[in-house]
């Protein structure tokens, strides 16, 4: 998600929630399951990772 060469913050320090959701969805090889809240949960997990 945050790779310095091609991630959300490769060229900008700020990104929107929509950009994060799109990046998470694009990173899922098989897409999301039927739970509509799953993408939001995954995005929250990405933001919770320190580093």
What is the predicted pLDDT for the residue at 43?
A: 95
What is the predicted pLDDT for the residue at 41?
A: 96
* CA 14/CA 38 separation, integer angstroms: 23
Q: How many domains does the chain have?
A: 1
What is the predicted pLDDT for the residue at 45?
A: 96
- Provide the residue range defining the domain that includes 19: 1-51
What is the predicted pLDDT for the residue at 47?
A: 94
What is the predicted pLDDT for the residue at 51?
A: 72
Which tens digits make up the pLDDT trace of 1-51? Answer: 788 888 888 988 899 999 999 999 999 998 888 887 999 999 999 999 987
């Amino acid at each position: 998600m945050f790779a310095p060469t091609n991630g959300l913050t490769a060229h900008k320090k700020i990104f929107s929630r929509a950009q994060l959701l799109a990046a998470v969805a694009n990173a899922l090889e098989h897409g999301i399951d039927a739970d509509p809240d799953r993408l939001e949960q995954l995005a929250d997990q990405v933001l919770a990772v320190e580093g």
